[in-house]
C-alpha cells in the first residue's frame, strides 16, 4: 500500500455512493499514523481520545489546542494517504462560530489536517455552516459526545427512548443541512443508527452504533488492546 493515492472528500463521497464501507481509525503520533497509512484505512482521526489513551487523563477535556496541533503534525508525517480529521478540543469552539472558524483554520494551516470534527447537533449547526462556508470540511459527531459526558451522566448509550431517538434524528438532519460531509454516530442503538443512516444523504461513521452505518471508526489503542481502561461491551 506504499504510494497509494491520497484520500480526498471525493474519495469518501465515491465510497458512500457505491455503498462501500468507509474505514476510519485514530492515531496520535507518527508510529500510529504509519499504522493507519499502511493498513489502507480511508480516514485517520487525530482524536481527543489521545488525552486518555496516550496522556493518561480521565477524560478528553484537559487537552489544549496546542496539544492537539502537536499530535496532528506528528500523525500527518506518518499518515500520508488517509484523509486526516482532527478533533477540535473542548473549549476551543463552543463559545462562538468566530472562535470555531479561527481554531479550524489553525488545524488546517498548522496541523496539516484535511478536516475538523466537532461535537453537537442542532445547537452547533450555525458553527458548522460558518466553518464549511470558508472551505473547511467538517465531520459532525452526535449521540454520545464525550466532551459533554458530565452533562450526559457519564459514558452512556444515547437514543434509547423515542424522545431521544427523535432528537438524534433532528441533530443528524441539522448537521447535514449545515454542510457537514459526514457524521459520527456514537453509542446509539443499532436500529436507530441504521434508520438515521437511511434518512441521510451523507455518510454516517459508527462507533458503538451497530453495523448499519456507512462506515466505522475505532480507537487504535482499544483495537490493539493497548489501553488498560477499555472495557468492550
Q: Which residues are catalytic?
A: 186
- E strand or H helix that includes residue 218: strand 215-218
From CA 34, how far away is CA 43, in angstroms rounded?
A: 12
CB neighbours of residue 97 within 10 Å: 16
d(CA 159, CA 157): 7
* All three cell numbers of 168: 438524534
**And the C-alpha cell for 76?**
500527518
Q: What is the DSSP string of 90-159?
A: TTSSSS-HHHHHHHHHHHHHTS--SEEEEEBSGGGHHHHHHHHHTT--EEEEEES-GGGHHHHTSS----
Amino acid at each position: 500500500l506504499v504510494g497509494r493515492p491520497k484520500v480526498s472528500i471525493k474519495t469518501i463521497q465515491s465510497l458512500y455512493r457505491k455503498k462501500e464501507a468507509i474505514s476510519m481509525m485514530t492515531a496520535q503520533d507518527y508510529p500510529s499514523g504509519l499504522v493507519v497509512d499502511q493498513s489502507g484505512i480511508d480516514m485517520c482521526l487525530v482524536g481527543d481520545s489521545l488525552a486518555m489513551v496516550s496522556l493518561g487523563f480521565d477524560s478528553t477535556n484537559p487537552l489544549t489546542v496546542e496539544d492537539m496541533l502537536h499530535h496532528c503534525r506528528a500523525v500527518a508525517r506518518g499518515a500520508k494517504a488517509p484523509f486526516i480529521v482532527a478533533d477540535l478540543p473542548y473549549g476551543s469552539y463552543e463559545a462562538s462560530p468566530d472562535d470555531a472558524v479561527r481554531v479550524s483554520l489553525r488545524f488546517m494551516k498548522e496541523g496539516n489536517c484535511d478536516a475538523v470534527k466537532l461535537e453537537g447537533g442542532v445547537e452547533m449547526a450555525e458553527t458548522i455552516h460558518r466553518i464549511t462556508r470558508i472551505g473547511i470540511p467538517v465531520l459532525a459527531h452526535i449521540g454520545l459526545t464525550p466532551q459533554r459526558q458530565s452533562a450526559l451522566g457519564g459514558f452512556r448509550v444515547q437514543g434509547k427512548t423515542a424522545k431521544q431517538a427523535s432528537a438524534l434524528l433532528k441533530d443528524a438532519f441539522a448537521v447535514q443541512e449545515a454542510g457537514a460531509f459526514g457524521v459520527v454516530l456514537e453509542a446509539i442503538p443499532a436500529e436507530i443508527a441504521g434508520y438515521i443512516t437511511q434518512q441521510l444523504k451523507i455518510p454516517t461513521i459508527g462507533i458503538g452504533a451497530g453495523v448499519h452505518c456507512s462506515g466505522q471508526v475505532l480507537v487504535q489503542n482499544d483495537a490493539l488492546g493497548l489501553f488498560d481502561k477499555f472495557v468492550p461491551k
